[in-house]
Amino acid sequence: MTAVSRRPEDPFFNPAAESICQVLRFEADPHEPLIPASELEWDRLAAGALSLGVGPLVYYRLREMGYLDQIQPGARRAFKSSYINSVAASLIRQNSLKKILAAFDRADIPVIVLKGGHLANTVYPDPALRPMSDLDLLVPFEKLEQAVEGLQSLGYRPERQYWTDFETTVNQHLPPFRSEKDQTVELHWTIRHPELARPVDLAAVWERAQAFDLEGQAARGLSTEDLLLHLTAHNAIQHHMKGGLQALYDIAAVVDHWDEQIDWKLLARTCREHKLQKALYLLLRLCRELFGAPVPEAFLGEIQPPDFAPQWLQAASDLIFLSQANHTQLSINYADLMNANGLPGKLYELLKQVFIPPAQMSQAYGLPPGSARVWLYYPVRFRYLAAKHAQPLKRLARGEAQMTRSAELTSQIKARMDYLDAALSEGTSDG
């Protein structure tokens, strides 16, 4: 049983999941009627698609399938509005990306466009169908400071103070840079998180990079195999499926768009080398089952982990189809606090959240690495966490039904994340 077939009383039930997957399948069955049949069901489809971040994409597919005339007026307006807003945001984002790439070209700064910026201009028929919150760019480490100067010359400023030497030991990108037009850029120097110890051969990544056209501007993206591994690590390992349905569809769209170019033997070998065999199998199987992505059955058979369990699919789909409407009001850290044994255990978890490592504190508060002032900020962090959690905890203590449900859902989400972390662990991974 997946999230698509969950019972209505289940907190992970999404009433629009089955219809959304049917619309997004790459080869829809012409003999199978579209599921929505009433005004209520169309409203649910629209609300579900919007809450999962795929409203513009579902609207586009419905239009291509000739269903727009059948959609009830309220749902059609919601879909169209989401698409128009996404088109407007996409025009600004595309223009910003072209300006950055042109500036980097003039400064002789090699750049690879990562994730959404690459996908929107290659595997999606319209860039507006792939909403994103920022642009991710990979530049060589030795060009990082020059790239920063290039962004600043275009009006971008870092969201916080930072020290490059320190940042490159604790993250794979510098702090976000934001422009006056509210565009955000993250400059990466690698495609893996330093905490995930498996090394990446960046020279080989750059050598395999593939050119693509961005509305007349020359650009480069990761090779198809590197792209699939990067998306897998980013979604399943680093972010615990929090990318949702859009992130899973990204992977399915890559396979559908470049299926004849994918070197499946190379992908099988490299996913093992990068300790991503389990995560890649899980996501590609979901892509095949939910969207009909043309993943060869023989490839799945080759990389299927010996310890695979159907519960992997269930836990992953529960997190993927968790709509914004069902998102908990409490942080995931809250689950660790509430699930701790007794008062001593809860106190220990609270202290762990307050007294994070000094390196993380320096990064969070924009302090120079190794600064003794970092210790002065722990009381600040304590007050911040106390203020953040005080009101929810009071509501929970009063027994408010909504907050109680939120606490239960938080614990269930954390349990699924922990389960998948353990199930997909292979020691190390890309990020």
In a domain, 243, yes or no: no
In a domain, 210, yes or no: no
In a domain, 290, yes or no: no
What angle is formed at CA 86 by the lines to CA 85 and CA 92, rounded to 5 degrees?
95
Prediction pTM value: 0.91
In whole angstroms, what separates CA 262 from the centre of its chain? 22
Q: Which residue has the higher pLDDT, 46 or 38?
A: 46
The residue among 82, 110, 126 that closes a domain is 82
Of 4-8, 145-149, 249-253, the range with the lowest mean pLDDT is 4-8
| pLDDT value of residue 428 | 45
Pairing of strands 217-221, 157-158: unpaired
Token pair, residue 3, equals 């999230």
pLDDT-based confidence at 1, cuts 50/70/90? very low
Separation between Cα atoms, residue 357 and residue 344, nearest integer Å = 21
The residue among 48, 82, 116 that closes a domain is 82
What percent of the chain stands above pLDDT 70?
A: 90
The sign of the torsion formed by the CA atoms of 431, 234, 356, 343 equals: negative
Q: Which residue has the tokens 């201009």?
A: 121
Over 80: is that where the pLDDT of 346 sits?
no
Q: Render pLDDT for 128-149 as a digit per residue (tens, 0 to 9).
A: 999 999 999 999 999 999 999 9
Separation between Cα atoms, residue 10 and residue 130, nearest integer Å = 30
Q: Render pLDDT for 62-113 as a digit per residue (tens, 0 to 9).
A: 998 888 888 888 999 999 999 999 999 999 999 999 999 999 999 999 999 9
In a domain, 31, yes or no: yes
In a domain, 396, yes or no: yes
In a domain, 301, yes or no: no
10 Å CB burial of residue 201 (0-12, 13-18, 19+) is exposed
Cβ atoms of residues 376 and 389 within 8 Å: no
Pairing of strands 210-214, 157-158: unpaired
Q: Which residue has the higher pLDDT, 13 or 153?
A: 153
Separation between Cα atoms, residue 198 and residue 187, nearest integer Å = 21
Report the mean per-residue pLDDT for the chain: 88
Q: Which residue has the higher pLDDT, 254 or 351?
A: 254
Separation between Cα atoms, residue 49 and residue 53, nearest integer Å = 6
pLDDT-based confidence at 12, cuts 50/70/90? confident
Separation between Cα atoms, residue 42 and residue 50, nearest integer Å = 12
Of 21-25, 50-54, 313-317, 367-371, the range with the lowest mean pLDDT is 367-371
What angle is formed at CA 54 by the lines to CA 48 and CA 55, rounded to 5 degrees?
70
Separation between Cα atoms, residue 148 and residue 188, nearest integer Å = 11
Q: Which residue has the higher pLDDT, 61 or 323?
A: 61
Question: Residue 390 is part of which domain span?
Answer: 328-424
What angle is formed at CA 52 by the lines to CA 242 and CA 100, rounded to 5 degrees?
70
Number of domains within the chain: 2
DSSP 412: H
In a domain, 131, yes or no: no
DSSP 233: I
CA dihedral 6, 286, 417, 270 (to 10 degrees): 170
H or E segment and range at residue 112: strand 112-114
The residue among 64, 82, 100 that closes a domain is 82
In a domain, 246, yes or no: no
pLDDT-based confidence at 31, cuts 50/70/90? low
Token pair, residue 7, equals 């019972």
